[in-house]
Amino acid sequence: MAIELIFLIIFIFSFAGVLFILARKVSVLNSLPQTGITGIRKHHIILDVENRIKEILISFEKQVLFHKLLSKIKVITLRIETKIDIMLHKIRKKAQEVDKKAKAKRTLHH
């Protein structure tokens, strides 16, 4: 019982001490900026690294790399499609020439 009383007294004094310290420091705590910036300047190398990391994270969020990959695939596909179209036109042109020659031969034989 006596030990519990001692612990209770220590707890009450400790709690009162914490309240006293907080009451004195509330004005100082209120004067601190809300953004978390304490006024300590970071070295420019650290700031550069942080900015690069932020840019990389933003590019991943925007899926810039995926967008670039898909754009390149699209360009390659369009180039291949254009080459195929040119080949098809050549084949059709040759087929028309063959048809004309075949008609000309038929008309000569009749």
pLDDT of residue 40: 60
In a domain, 52, yes or no: no
- Cβ atoms 28, 22 nearer than 8 A: no
Residues 8-43, buried b or exposed e (16+ Cβ, 10 A)? eeeeeeeeeeeeeeeeeeeeeeeeeeeeeeeeeeee
pLDDT of residue 39: 56
In a domain, 42, yes or no: no
- 28 lies in the same domain as 64: no
Domain that holds residue 18: 1-32
- Residue-wise pLDDT for 7-51, tens only, equals 989 999 999 999 898 888 887 777 776 766 655 667 788 888 888
- 100 lies in the same domain as 64: yes
In a domain, 39, yes or no: no
pLDDT of residue 17: 92
pLDDT of residue 90: 96
- Residue-wise pLDDT for 40-86, tens only, equals 667 788 888 888 888 888 877 788 788 889 999 999 999 999 999 99
- Residue-wise pLDDT for 83-107, tens only, equals 999 999 999 999 999 999 888 888 8
**Total structural domains within the chain:** 2
- 28 lies in the same domain as 67: no
